[in-house]
Amino acid sequence: MAYSDVYEGWKNDPEGFWMKAAEAIDWVEKPTKALFDENAPLYEWFSDGMVNTCYNAVDRHVEAGNGDRVAIIYDSPITGRKDKISYAELQTRVASLAGALRQQGVETGDRVIIYMPMVPQALEAMLACSRLGAIHSVVFGGFAANELAVRIDDAKPKAIIAASCGLEPGRVVDYKPLLDGAIDQARHKPDFCIILQREEMPAELTQGRDHDWYEVQNDVEPAECVPVRGDHPVYVLYTSGTTGAPKGVVRPTGGHLVALNWTMKNIYNVDPGDVFWAASDVGWVVGHSYICYAPLIHGNTTIVFEGKPIGTPDAGAFWRVIAEHKVSVMFTAPTAFRAIRKEDPEGEHVRRHDLAHFRTLFLAGERCDPDTLLWAEAQLGVPVIDHWWQTETGWAIAANPIGIEHLPVKPGSPTLPMPGYDIRILDEEGQEVDRPGTIGAVVAKLPLPPSCLPTLWQADDRFRQAYLSRYPGYYLTGDAGYVDEDGYVFIMSRIDDIINVAGHRLSTGGMEEVLAGHPAVAECAVLGVADTLKGELPMGFVVLKSGVTKSEAEVMKELVAKVRDEIGPVAAFKLVAVVKRLPKTRSGKILRGTMKKIADDAAWNMPATIDDPTILDEIAEALRGLGYARKHGSA
């Protein structure tokens, strides 16, 4: 069947489409219908069904006779440890941990915060919560105490599950003081904590509150799966808010199961038993959807990788994992490939490994510039698929659904909208643009499909204000872009990154695409800075590849000319700086907003998710060299 047939089939009968997809899930009580729109624009899916996430991710595979199949492969190049956990072993471990949580008083609807590194126990903790119908909230391991405290006060967890430490190349991150500090700061106090002691840095446990991971499970009765309603939250995941207060994205159980299971075959084209690897972290939405839940719901083998694309030990780390564990499909962020390319521009490491089992690479998490996509395609010799989605949606808004039809690739585009998403481009007045290729706000016509957030945790009004109020009847993605004459979606930047240069609306993403196409550039960022004459001017930051022989001045001159030639003099692109690295979140997103505030001398706070705060000093120095950032410092 062609993509167009599937998409039109959904559009003509969305209720029938999603009820059919729901047949692949094991329900305790099947839902009577798919969409519940009585409280529109707050929509729900499969609300009156009864179901359990953990049962669908673990138990049903064991009961079907696939208990010996490997569920999780743990690979830690930092410690040298590797492990394989079968579905039957995973069932035993998860039921035991869930039993311990239940014995300590955790019940359906209680919240549990998980503060863990990339170890299999992180997935076991998530599954143990969903087994009981408890609502987990994973916080990225190593997050600052203040940020963790904010999430504790919002989620009000009965328990916190944490590890004693996390591991980064060359250093050990001591989690316990951060956890203790967060609990001290928070107004809400958890009843108890469970701590996974790691030999690299065991923690001192707080008597009466903290329990050892293994000791708390001694002699407990394993817990059975507790059915919950389809609209019951399986988790709350906090994402950054514009006001500084985090937004708790709610993920409802029924829609989550149905949509994620549908994606594994239709988008990623994997069959049960195939090895699927999302090289991300459980603290991010990719880790929730495609390290933990979707592969296990679908009966795949998932990989938990405690390492980095470079430095553990080199730029060949990904290829070693793919070859050793016979990975069929990989999913990671474009920034990982930019880092690999910078270290190994000729792809020498790729050719040292047997990648015969590897079929497809998917990229997401930020806009993928065409140059990175084409480089990856040339080195790997497999299709490289860009796709676009958000924490709020939990799965792809636009993709190339190779399990349905492998559509022609247009570098720079995540291809076409997936069933459930009716994408429109609106101008500043909220009207649909009148011709293909016109940049505007990218929105989705309501209702959003299953698994997308129905609201924010304990904050319906904030949900309406943030996502629904600007364009009534539509979900505001926050991204700017356009749709071409073939219906392909192009995401150019966040709405805030469309800059106005002397009355001309220009995309910083389009300029980044031009800069990334220069053979000396490994990665780049463009932001708009305030200008008294033109309103805004674009400013570029570039990181050069290893081994570049030209001088920085030569490269900068060529880049200015390249933007002028490919976008035109209207861009007024004259400001460009070469830097050693770009400031990023731990998930690899470039902190353009913070860079812009520094350039404009605006007050700014140190981002909680920043990978390395010292990079901002380097950026400020580069800005001062261009005549900006005169008053560097956080507010």
Which residues on neighbouring strands pair with residue 236, listed in sequence order?
250
Q: Which residue has the higher pLDDT, 586 or 225?
A: 225
Q: pLDDT-derived band of residue 362, with 50, 70 and 90 as boundaries?
A: very high
pLDDT at residue 295 greater than cutoff 90: yes
- Among 214-218, 410-414, 564-568, which stretch is predicted with the lowest mean pLDDT? 564-568
Tell which residue, 521, 432, 24, 497, has the closest CA to residue 265: 24
252, 45 contact by CB (below 8 A): yes
Q: pLDDT-derived band of residue 631, with 50, 70 and 90 as boundaries?
A: very low
Strands (E), 316-378: 329-332, 360-363
Q: Given this model, what pLDDT does residue 274 score?
A: 98
422, 445 contact by CB (below 8 A): yes
Mean pLDDT of 349-363: 96
pLDDT at residue 590 greater than cutoff 90: no
DSSP state of 57: I
Q: Which CATH superfamily is domain 502-625 in?
A: ANL, C-terminal domain (3.30.300.30)
pLDDT at residue 497 greater than cutoff 80: no
- What does the pLDDT look like over 418-474, one tens digit per residue? 999 999 999 888 999 999 999 899 999 999 999 999 999 999 999 999 999 999 999
pLDDT at residue 11 greater than cutoff 60: yes
Beta-carbon count within 10 A of 433 CB: 16
Q: Report the distance separating Cα 617 and Cα 632, nearest Å.
A: 8
Q: Which residue has the higher pLDDT, 372 or 176?
A: 176
Q: Where are the domains of the chain?
A: 91-226, 502-625
Mean pLDDT of 483-503: 83
DSSP state of 397: E
Pick the CATH number of 91-226 from 3.50.90.10, 3.40.50.980, 3.40.50.620, 3.30.70.260: 3.40.50.980
- What does the pLDDT look like over 512-546, one tens digit per residue? 889 999 999 999 999 888 877 777 889 999 999 98
pLDDT at residue 165 greater than cutoff 90: yes
Q: Given this model, what pLDDT does residue 635 score?
A: 32
Mean pLDDT of 13-26: 98
Q: Which region holds residue 511: left if phi is over 0, alpha if psi is between -120 and 50, else beta?
A: alpha
- Copy the structure tokens of residue 261: 């299971």
Q: Given this model, what pLDDT does residue 634 score?
A: 35
Q: Which residue has the higher pLDDT, 633 or 621?
A: 621
Whole-prediction pTM value?
0.85
Q: Report the distance separating Cα 116 and Cα 231, nearest Å.
A: 27
Identify the three-state secondary structure at position 16: helix
- What does the pLDDT look like over 100-159, one tens digit per residue? 999 999 999 999 999 999 999 999 999 999 999 999 999 988 788 888 999 999 999 999
Residue 462: what are its φ and ψ, rounded to 5°? -65, -35
Q: Given this model, what pLDDT does residue 241 score?
A: 54
Q: Given this model, what pLDDT does residue 571 score?
A: 83
Distance of alpha carbon 361 from its chain centroid, rounded? 16
Q: Given this model, what pLDDT does residue 503 score?
A: 61
pLDDT at residue 624 greater than cutoff 80: yes
Q: Report the distance separating Cα 343 and Cα 361, nearest Å.
A: 19
Per cent of the chain over pLDDT 70 is 97
Q: Given this model, what pLDDT does residue 613 score?
A: 82
Q: Given this model, what pLDDT does residue 369 score?
A: 81
**Residue 606 burial (C-beta neighbours within 10 Å; 0-12, 13-18, 19+):** exposed
Rg of the chain (C-alpha set): 24
454, 462 contact by CB (below 8 A): no
36, 240 contact by CB (below 8 A): no
- Residue appearing with tokens 């499970």: 217
Whole-number Cα distances in Å, 95 to 48, 58, 130, 234: 26, 10, 11, 17
Average pLDDT, the chain: 92
* Secondary structure in 3-state letters for 198-216: CCCCCCCCCCCCEEECCHH
Q: Report the distance separating Cα 240 and Cα 593, nearest Å.
A: 12
Residue 221, C-beta contacts closer than 8 angstroms, at least 6 positions apart = 99, 103
